[in-house]
Amino acid sequence: MSNADLETVKAAGFTNGEVIEIVANVALNVFTNYFNNVAEPDIDFPRAQTVKRAA
């Protein structure tokens, strides 16, 4: 992320704390995905049904 990117996010109304929260959530999701790829946990909930799109 460049300074220009950060300024664009701030100009959109996000505070420094909110930017930190966004970055932390992205990092947590990346970590969780890597962990699940290695651990290969059993999926213990039913698959979601496919939703048909309206024409």
Q: Count of CB atoms within 10 A of residue 1's CB?
A: 9
Q: What is the pTM of this model?
A: 0.66
- CA distances to 8, 23, 35, 46 from 3, in Å: 9, 15, 31, 44
Average pLDDT, the chain: 92
Please tell me the predicted confidence (pLDDT) of residue 53.
Answer: 87
Mean pLDDT across 7-21? 95
Taking residues 5-17, what's their average pLDDT?
A: 95
